[in-house]
Chain A
């Protein structure tokens, strides 16, 4: 079952613009992570935000977490063509021992030059 749901499903922007993706989830979490996947290859970890954090930055990435709304957003600033990929949020459900990360369906980002 999917825990996270990303929005929008697809996003097309021009190089230099910012890209914002949102994720909503259903149950209490320990942390939320964002991953990137290039055309059917393996996923690459981007950033992890813990349930007691509200915002985190890593290079051109900014992630926010609102546990009261059970939602997170990923902002990629000054997008590049190389940012073209699918982006997934993944949650670590609280009180579910032995459960690995649960992924959403992803947002497909297309950055054109």
Chain B
């Protein structure tokens, strides 16, 4: 069983740039959720994808967008980066969004915006 993998592990960008983060779900999981975790805080829900469609969204602006592919891998795109976007971005996969099964997390991408 392959776990959740995220790439890259670390990234440094300049304010105003765009970034794409990638996630491969655990095998057999069709749902992926993205979270932002600022230093010293709990993870904040960005959005969830189920079978390639957005299935829910947290309180994040439209410059945060995502995609889910037929193999259930996923991307998180952030446009017009701001300093406050510096955080650990976590991807989590699960079996199904209807029944809140446990989330399986990747180790995250540490994004630094300068």
| Chain A interface residues toward B at CB < 8 A | 1-2, 4, 30-31, 33, 35, 40-45, 48, 88, 90, 92, 97-106
Contacts and interface: CB of A to CB of B under 8 A. Distances in A.
Contact of B33 (A2, A48, A100): A100
Given A31-B100, A92-B100, A103-B43, A42 B4 contact: yes
Contact of B56 (A4, A41, A100): A100
A97 B97 CA distance: 9
Nearest to A33: B102
Contact of A41 (B44, B58, B104, B107): B107
B90 A101 contact: no
Nearest to B98: A97
Nearest to A4: B42
Interface residues of B, number: 28
B41 A42 contact: no
A4 B56 CA distance: 19
Contacts of B105: 42-44
Nearest to A46: B102
